[in-house]
Structure 1
Amino acid sequence: MRSPARQAGVHKAGLIVVTVLGFITTFYKIWYPAEVVFDEVHFGKFAGYYLQRSYFFDVHPPLAKLMIAAVGYLIGYDGHFDFANIGDSYIENDVPYIGLRSLPATLNVLNVALIYSIMKQSGYVPIVCFLSSCMYLLDNAIVAQHRLIMLDSMLIFYMLATIYAYIRFRKVRHQEFSGSWWFWLFATGTTMALTLSVKMVGLFLVAAIGISVLVDLWELFDLKRGLSMKHFMKHFYARAVGLIFIPIVIYLFWFHVHFAVLTESGPGDTFMSAAFQETLQNSAIKMKSLEIAYFDNITLKHKDTDVYLHSHNLHYPLRYDDGRISSQGQQVTGVKEVDDNCYWRVKPTITLDDEDERVYVRHGDIIQLEHIGTQRILLTHDVASPLMATNEEVTTVAEGERYNETLFQVLLDDHDNGDIWQTHMKSVRLLHMDTKVTIWTHDQALPDWALGQQEVNGNKNILDKSNYWIADEIMGMNGKVSPSTEINMEKKKELRRMPFLRKFFELQGRMLSHNAGLTKPHPYQSRPIAWPFMIRGISYWSKNDTREQIYMTGNLFGWYISIGSLAVFAGIILADTLARRRGIEPVDEPLRHRLINSGGFFVILWLTHYIPFFAMGRALFLHHYLPAAACNYLVLGAIFQFMFVDGVDSPVSSLQRNDSAKEARSQYVVRQTPMKAYPTTKTYVMAGIFILLQLAVFLFLAPITYGTPGLSVPEVLKRKVYSSWDLQYGKPTSNGSSVPHEDIY
């Protein structure tokens, strides 16, 4: 039996050892490869934008990218490199990439220490803490991901810090409203907010902590606890402040920093509204934006598909391939390249006092659009479109014919920030006054009779976000200001102010909608059901001349045994529940209490970080599973202690009579003393076997984790555990490639 002082010494030694081992596995050859790897093309680029203060758009919150940029600033990097392609040389472009990679790598080493500390604070013996930490630090996916300029290391660091803080808070729950109680409550809320400030999937951690807090409050609400409603509400308000209000303030703060740093126009301008763009300095779009007046000849480009509204002398055929009959009217289509048939004259429907004066088109005005090339008026009517029978055909008619069917209302996006239609800055919906459809196009080509150009039709869903068009050019005025306009260049340079919360909510909406729209297929995407079994990995980097590659996949032993621990947990809980229904208590109450409260919390963390991905329609990848994998190693430690520590030498044997178990339970509840656990030789042997097997698989996969050069074809094939793994150079002629995530630009 170890004394508390000796136990503390063992824990300290174990923490030091795993931290050193984590440093070795993470920082080993961190300088290699000296080339851009996988999504470093995005996150290295974003850090550069921060350093150059150029506005960019990303689907993730700003904290982790700000951290990378801060490291770049401290080591003298000016953000000059564009991180354009996987394989671009850092050495040739004078990029201090080792310093940039050191941030996520350092946080990964701290993650190892946090896992040990979480297990220690949860009451597990040193060998179990050591086991969980070693399983994490010897995970190939963790090492491959967290030594690169990417965000997952920061995400897991703040996630584990939140778990640690919440466990510390739970440990002092009986010292309610004390200094340490408030400290760990606020620490939980702070680190939880920092997790969410790295990636939106931090909401999964919010859900896990939220479930635990609700269970905690439900227990406090129990009348048997003897708490008055006033006292209960004090607990409720304290948690509301610490776990809701403070996280919201912190989350908002990082966006405030984001906007304060990114003051210059940049590649992300086009994702934002015109009002937002006008808050940025040197906005190229703003500088060339012109106000549209009646009788201007303009081009209209569809915002989503980038095709221009176009017409020509060709007509729709009498019958389509499915037998439907058309109007045989003049075709209106969409084309990728602007030409003379893409110009439309904006005609008023009211009498103007002075036609020589420029009268601007405003939000809500009703107009006609005359096709310059054929001098016919745009029209849509109740005839089915060529490719979509539910939508209306768009065509043209001679001037003066069917007047009411040629009227369209100008509906500007963001019209609260100026109601004059402008090129580039103001997107517009053209609402047909007669049939209440909007001019719309979709990414589908018409047959040869329309030269393969894109179909344009009338969309009955007038609120569809893809209904917007941008006026791209005014004929004869592109890039210059009309003499009749009183706006000079100095005025165009003036910055508009926009309230922070308005900017925040606009960006949040764009982030969420764009993230949901990342559905473009990717060669290395996979579905969540395959992640725990590593059916597909991700090729991060490869180099043909030296036959090197980095392939991201997990440690097979570690992931499989961790998934097995979840099944064991479910089996134990089910068997214990059934037995207790029959009056049998197979598990002593203190052991059961620790398994349910501690192991159950870890299981909730795994579930909330894994199950929600099944509801997502966007492209997903194996690295999305890494937070859940880290939580799974915590579950593994809990089950290992239950099987090989608690079960072999417990103060109250499960073979004793039920009344003894009940007495032990009563003592536990009243005294609130933690149960002592004593590892045996069997404990150390089993832990040693687990760690050695994890190490063996780690070393086996290490060449494709670190990018070891010169693997022969047999050596590559030996490591291709699944035929679905996309390992390069598995054949003498193979020359595979690596592809980053979908580029949002």
Structure 2
Amino acid sequence: MSTPPPELRQRKAASSKKKQNTEHHVVDSENAVLAKVQQQLQAGKQSEWDYKLALVIITIGAFITRFWGISHPNQVVFDEVHFGKFASYYLQRTYFFDVHPPFGKLLYAFTGWLVGYKGDFLFENIGDSYITNKVPYVAYRSLPALQGALTVSSVFWIMWESGYSLPATLAATGIMLFDNAHIGQTRLILLDATLILFMALSLLCYVRFYKLRHIPFTRKWWKWLLLTGTCLSCVISTKYVGVFSFVSIGVPVCFDLWELLDVNRRRGTLSLPEFGRHFAARVVGLILIPFLLYLFWFQVHFTILNRSGPGDDFMTPEFQQTLSDNVMNSASVGIQYGDSITMKHKETKVFLHSHDEKYPLRYEDGRISSQGQQVTGYPHNDTNNFWEIQPASEYDTKRGSSVRNGDVVRLLHIGTQHVLLTHDVASPYYPTNQEFTAVPLEVANTERFNDTLFELKIENGKPGQEFRTMASHFKLVHVPTKVAMWTHTTPLPEWAFKQAEINGNKNILQSSNAWFVEAITNLPADNDRISKEPRKVKTMPFLKKYLELQRAMFFHNNALTSSHPYASVPIQWPFLLRGVSFWTENDTRQQIYFLGNPIGWWIASSLLAVFAGIVGADQLALRRGLDVLDERTRRRLYNSTGFFFLTWAAHYFPFFIMGRQLFLHHYLPAHLASALVTGALVEFIFNVEPLSPEDINANKKKGSTAASTHTPIRQRLSNGSLLPAWAATGVIWAAVVWCFWFFAPLTYGKPGLSVDQVLSRKWLGYDLHFAK
């Protein structure tokens, strides 16, 4: 092998040495950045004694305002009837149904377990005595009060970590500390304290994570990324509106990734594999792990609730048979041809019913009926609810054999000896749906025979599966016209005794088409079908149980559309136009009225509009070649204050497209974000000043022109110029403290107020009691 020329060897050695020097330089640079960041963090921690002192004082104030008089009233207040009851069900291991995920309710159950409570009281009615029923209600209420106090501290910490001045931090924190709505909501056995605390913690953790963006994949970087995901998981595991917090953080994460993808970024271009690591880390930390934690709480939920309870009716028979003491296991009986049965609608719980009365010739809108025998839904036990189930053919030979999934059957109304049918005649209330009626047996056996045929379809049933009482939810599908028997909650007029309408629904996949057989009415008590030993509790895969529960939760959550005297619409919330009455006591004239701090809410809402105006004006000025902000101020305004504004918008605007009941407490997460915007704008407005004309002329003499380099007209002041910000914060604190104190009797439920005192607090449309 020939030896390379000396010149080539020298070039290779120089190249190798240069490469090694470059690699060492990169490593040294990364170490220098890491050391610099750590030095800055350490120096900041050592010098910010004023922030630490303020945080301690704020936290003490938060505990005082949340815990003062927490034992009053010693009665069930407002929605404590729900969440206190759910905690008792957990302690009794009794299955219940709720539209919210389990995390927040599990915390209450854990609190009860810690104090040795057995869950004997079920929180049935507002006003029930805790003392009489020996309920550790102070322990229960201490959980949300603790969370509410820590939320105030978290708001302070968010502002601190975001680099805002102490007066700006205190301005944001003061609005939260003395807010009557946050105080009132976090002193009762409700879920919002958990939701808001973890929403605030997710913002805090993301801010800490973002500050470490220059030293990625270090231990601290991973810690704060994973903590952000954990807090987000706790938010959505408490209430589904927690998805708004994912949007709040997901949007800036997407912007961050978009910047990392830029080949011209200031801190060096990332290769695609390096970018892939960043992307994968965020997917794992902010999506995968939160989802697994979310599933974990449902696994805990199913594991604890292993006994039959009031939530059974919301689940399928297959699910119910996984619960001990369930009627599916203890009282379910196989149905045979010739049995007299009663059928109930799964959702409305009305019986399939018929009687001698006929449909009127004409309905109110002029449409004509068949004038056949009425078939209706009736909520009470009655002999007119009895139907004999018959095969479509060979009645004598099939009588006594089991009815199975997929069978074609007929239903004979025992009281009138008429057979159920549906035909192409419009129902009373739904012109698009078919009328259900019944015809005499002799007619049903001849010219109307086909119209009396129905296919039995058991939900999630296997072919040939046995049809059973209670355990088989089924749809009755008309063979000729392919409509399913259905009912709804709007009662028929007086001609049908205001009973429920039964009609044929063309959408046979609709879940509300489901019915079940409640009982066999002609079965002797000593029949072998009854005396069989109870079946064992069945098992069901976790994911199947989870998906079934999710469907039920979303369905019933969307069904919460009925009116409520204290419901409100989103446009009313930022202006605090009305509140909610939580509790009253006539003898002492005491009341708890859920209402925010009006002055604090109006300040925060006004500054949201101010922020939008500032951004709009800045963009307009830039279009005209006028640079009104220095670069550092603009970055702070758009990135930090903009992040808080985005959080407010993400937690507010989605409510406008919701059809369910809405209340003032739905605005509390958005209100927290508006408090952050308020603090940020206090610093922006009072911590910058315009340059003098001399400064502007000096810049122009240096060659700077408005058309080219955008002359900066505002610059940040020195640390000694915080006096205006302190003055603004002092005004905000004075206003919100006075307003908090003025409305405190409505927040704490004491003392009772005279008529004049109540009237003096009716600033807007507040539905206060004892006003006359």
Separation in 1, partners of 2:405, 2:568: 45
Q: 2:344 aligns with which of 301, 307, 327?
A: 301
Partner of 2:470: 424
Q: 1:360 to 1:700 in 2, by over 3 A?
A: same
Matches within 5 A, 1:169-208: 169-208=209-248
Matches within 5 A, 1:1-12: 4=44, 7-12=47-52
Q: What SS is found at the alignment partner of 2:302?
A: helix
Shift of the alpha carbon at 1:451? 3.2
Q: 1:78 aligns with which of 113, 118, 121?
A: 118
Q: 1:679 to 1:60 in 2, by over 3 A?
A: farther
Partner of 1:337: 380
- The one-letter code matched in structure 2 to 1:727 is L
Please identify, of 459-468 and 179-188, the stretch whose mean Cα deviation from structure 2 is larger.
459-468
Separation in 2, partners of 1:303, 1:560: 47
Partner of 1:736: none
Q: 1:572 to 1:27 in 2, by over 3 A?
A: same
Is the CA contact 2:420–2:452 (under 8 Å) kept in the aligned structure 1? Answer: yes
Separation in 2, partners of 1:691, 1:525: 30
Name the count of aligned residue pairs.
714
Is the CA contact 1:136–1:633 (under 8 Å) kept in the aligned structure 2? Answer: yes
Work out which of the two has the higher radius of gyration on C-alpha atoms and give 1 or 2.
2
Partner of 1:166: 206
Is the CA contact 2:593–2:768 (under 8 Å) kept in the aligned structure 1? Answer: yes
Partner of 2:324: 281
Separation in 2, partners of 1:678, 1:41: 54
Partner of 1:266: 309
Superposed CA offset, 1:27-73 (max 9, x none): 11011111111111111111111111111111111111111111111
Q: 1:144 aligns with which of 175, 178, 184?
A: 184
Separation in 1, partners of 2:476, 2:704: 76
Is the CA contact 2:86–2:96 (under 8 Å) kept in the aligned structure 1? Answer: yes
Percent identical residues: 48
Matches within 5 A, 1:698-737: 698-722=740-764, 724-731=765-772
Partner of 2:455: 409
Is the CA contact 1:292–1:421 (under 8 Å) kept in the aligned structure 2? Answer: yes
Shift of the alpha carbon at 1:653? 8.5
Q: What SS is found at the alignment partner of 1:389?
A: coil
Q: 2:577 aligns with which of 524, 527, 535?
A: 535
Please identify, of 435-444 and 45-54, the stretch whose mean Cα deviation from structure 2 is larger.
435-444
Matches within 5 A, 1:15-34: 15-34=55-74
Q: Does 1:584 align with 2:626?
A: yes
Please identify, of 281-290 and 91-100, the stretch whose mean Cα deviation from structure 2 is larger.
281-290
Partner of 1:458: 504
Q: Does 1:314 align with 2:357?
A: yes
Separation in 1, partners of 2:157, 2:395: 77
CA RMSD of aligned residues (A): 2.4
Q: Does 1:471 align with 2:517?
A: yes
Separation in 1, partners of 2:689, 2:47: 20
Is the CA contact 1:169–1:181 (under 8 Å) kept in the aligned structure 2? Answer: yes
Superposed CA offset, 1:305-355 (max 9, x none): 222111122222333343333222222122221211111111112437954
- The one-letter code matched in structure 1 to 2:391 is P
Separation in 1, partners of 2:697, 2:588: 62
Q: 1:558 to 1:344 in 2, by over 3 A?
A: same
Superposed CA offset, 1:178-200 (max 9, x none): 11111111111111111111111
Separation in 2, partners of 1:18, 1:649: 36
Q: What SS is found at the alignment partner of 2:488?
A: strand
Separation in 1, partners of 2:302, 2:695: 61
Superposed CA offset, 1:629-669 (max 9, x none): 0111001011111011244899x989973889999xx9xxx
Partner of 1:735: none
Can you give the 5+ residue segments of structure 1 that lack an aligned partner in the other structure? 667-673, 732-745
Q: What SS is found at the alignment partner of 1:368?
A: strand
Q: 1:54 to 1:569 in 2, by over 3 A?
A: same
> What TM-score comes out, normalization by structure 1 length?
0.92
Shift of the alpha carbon at 1:391? 1.6
Q: What SS is found at the alignment partner of 2:528?
A: coil
- The one-letter code matched in structure 1 to 2:166 is P
Partner of 1:135: 175
Partner of 1:551: 593
Partner of 2:93: 53
Shift of the alpha carbon at 1:484? 4.7
Partner of 1:570: 612
- The one-letter code matched in structure 1 to 2:582 is Y
- The one-letter code matched in structure 2 to 1:609 is H
> What TM-score comes out, normalization by structure 2 length?
0.89
Q: 1:691 aligns with which of 727, 733, 740?
A: 733
Is the CA contact 2:96–2:312 (under 8 Å) kept in the aligned structure 1? Answer: yes
Q: 1:509 to 1:429 in 2, by over 3 A?
A: same
Please identify, of 389-398 and 61-70, the stretch whose mean Cα deviation from structure 2 is larger.
389-398
Is the CA contact 2:383–2:415 (under 8 Å) kept in the aligned structure 1? Answer: yes
Partner of 1:489: 533
Partner of 1:36: 76
Is the CA contact 1:414–1:426 (under 8 Å) kept in the aligned structure 2? Answer: no
Q: 2:549 aligns with which of 486, 507, 532?
A: 507
Q: 1:620 aligns with which of 653, 662, 678?
A: 662
Is the CA contact 2:167–2:729 (under 8 Å) kept in the aligned structure 1? Answer: yes
- The one-letter code matched in structure 2 to 1:189 is G
Q: What SS is found at the alignment partner of 1:184?
A: helix
Q: 1:518 aligns with which of 553, 557, 560?
A: 560
Partner of 1:246: 289
